[in-house]
Amino acid sequence: MKINRNFDNLVPNYLFADVARKTNEFAAAHPEKEIIRLGIGDVTLPLAPIVVAAMKKGCEDLLHKETFKGYPEYEGYDFVREAIAGYYGSFGVTVHADEIFVSDGAKSDCGNLPDIFAQDNTVLVTDPVYPVYVDANLMAGRNIIYAPSCKENNFLAMPDENVKADIIYLCSPNNPTGAAYSADQLAVWVDYALKNDAILLYDAAYEAFIEDGSPRSIFAVDGARQCAIELCSLSKTAGFTGTRCGYTVIPKELKRDGHSLHELWYRRQATKFNGVSWPVQCAAAEVFGREGLQQIRENLEYYKQNAKIISDALDELGIYYTGGKNSPYIWMECPGGMGSWEFFDYLLQNAAVVGTPGEGFGKSGKGFFRLTSFNSREKTLEAVGRIKNLLK
């Protein structure tokens, strides 16, 4: 018996384990200091009341023979897909309900979508990168190439026409950099994909944070229906990180190698996925109702205000960063030419503030640092005060 030796190619990523270890050591050595975590990658505010009410009603349905539900449809219930299509319509993008697959989240879909593509395709990711894109494809034995995002391109890597890629992951607004592509930049990527017969896997997990008119969907760009699949998530949009729900959009007309990618993905999901539970789908549909959207907006505004507090402070300090708007993430240059881990230690030791070293997200993250807006207002203000005192 042989194991999948592609696992040998995974680079051990101890980023969050190392952050936790160093933080715990500091806490043990300095019990008197209050540590503030600006590295949190999870939401902290509760679900919207109307969403929880729908989930409770969904549970109630399971209690009665007349309303009980068993296996859901692989692609999600129609009313949920209609609600998602309506949401797209609210920002001017046409997506048909029957092109939407409801899932248990964008992480699974990012990792599983390549199942429908051959192993010898080349995968391109922008660097720094959400690690799932890399690790899932390494496990499958694919070759990965990197397009560096850096200060020179404002952490928005653009295609190189001399490089040939088949599967391209784009994440906008980006984790970890918070940078969001403009419509013109996305049009260049769409053009590249069309010319190279490539597929864009467009991760829009943070689209709900967009505030400056940048596209909220790749399907806002002409030609994207011929070359893109979009993944999205209710995790950061509506606090579903623990509840689990996301969706993937595959245009019906999207074909490669003579095959409909929509049909291939349906076949893949029908084989390996048994759908999202009834109470969660009831809750998800409610997110996109009029009142649901209003209620989730309050939480989004709270995080966005925290992000503004952090980015305003960096403006005052004259520190270069991306994100802070359109995103819960702030990607800052480490001051004084410090390395990512050097700055991590400096901030922890001198301000008892924890962030995430940028180089943990890839080579191009060297010398950068990620802060997040998911802590409370009070703690964010306190941390920012300490950072300003330290770096002024």
Stretch that binds ligand PLP, among 83-91, 99-107, 112-120, 136-144 (CB under 6 A): 99-107
Q: Compute the least distance from the CB of residue 179 to ligand PLP, in Å.
A: 12
| Near ligand PLP by CB under 6 A: residue from 203, 230, 286, 359 | 203
Distance CA 320, CA 311 (A): 10
| For ligand PLP, the closer CB: 335 or 362 | 362
Distance CA 387, CA 379 (A): 12
323 binds ligand PLP (CB under 6 A): no
Distance CA 85, CA 99 (A): 9
Q: Compute the least distance from the CB of residue 205 to ligand PLP, in Å.
A: 4
Strand segments, DSSP code E, in the chain are 36-37, 100-103, 122-127, 143-148, 167-171, 199-203, 228-233, 246-249, 255-256, 259-260, 321-323, 329-333, 353-354, 356-357, 368-372
Q: What is the DSSP letter of 92?
A: T
Tell me which residue has its CB nearest to ligand PLP.
105
130 binds ligand PLP (CB under 6 A): yes
| For ligand PLP, the closer CB: 313 or 364 | 364
380 binds ligand PLP (CB under 6 A): no
Q: Is 183 helix (H, G, I), strand (E, B) or coil?
A: helix
| Near ligand PLP by CB under 6 A: residue from 15, 47, 107, 201 | 107
Q: Compute the least distance from the CB of residue 327 to ligand PLP, in Å.
A: 10
359 binds ligand PLP (CB under 6 A): no
Distance CA 56, CA 103 (A): 20
Count of H helices and E strands in the chain? 12, 15
Structural tokens at position 34 = 């209050």
| For ligand PLP, the closer CB: 112 or 226 | 112
| For ligand PLP, the closer CB: 157 or 352 | 157
Query: Interface mask (CB under 6 A) for ligand PLP, residues 161-200, using x and -?
Result: ----------x---x-------------------------
Q: Compute the least distance from the CB of residue 108 to ligand PLP, in Å.
A: 6
Stretch that binds ligand PLP, among 47-55, 60-68, 103-111, 366-374 (CB under 6 A): 103-111
Q: Compute the least distance from the CB of residue 96 to ligand PLP, in Å.
A: 22
106 binds ligand PLP (CB under 6 A): yes
| Near ligand PLP by CB under 6 A: residue from 128, 239, 246, 358 | 246
- Please, which of residues 280-319 interact with ligand PLP by CB under 6 A? none
Distance CA 222, CA 91 (A): 15
- Please, which of residues 24-53 interact with ligand PLP by CB under 6 A? 41
Structural tokens at position 390 = 């330290």
Distance CA 160, CA 124 (A): 11
**CA 368 and chain centroid, separation:** 19
Phi, psi of 229 (to 5 degrees): -120, 135
105 binds ligand PLP (CB under 6 A): yes
Cβ-based neighbour number of residue 327 at 10 Å: 29
| For ligand PLP, the closer CB: 210 or 313 | 210
| Near ligand PLP by CB under 6 A: residue from 111, 241, 317, 366 | 241
Distance CA 256, CA 237 (A): 31
Distance CA 192, CA 184 (A): 13
Q: Any idea which residue has 């653009």 for tokens?
A: 158
Q: Compute the least distance from the CB of residue 180 to ligand PLP, in Å.
A: 12
Distance CA 107, CA 236 (A): 12
- Angle among Cα 103, 107, 113 to the nearest 5 degrees reads 70
Q: Compute the least distance from the CB of residue 105 to ligand PLP, in Å.
A: 3
Q: What are the beta bridge partners of residue 11?
A: none
| For ligand PLP, the closer CB: 106 or 150 | 106
| Near ligand PLP by CB under 6 A: residue from 205, 229, 314, 347 | 205
Q: Compute the least distance from the CB of residue 106 to ligand PLP, in Å.
A: 4
Residues that bind ligand PLP (CB under 6 A): 41, 105-107, 110, 130, 171, 175, 203, 205, 233, 235, 241, 246
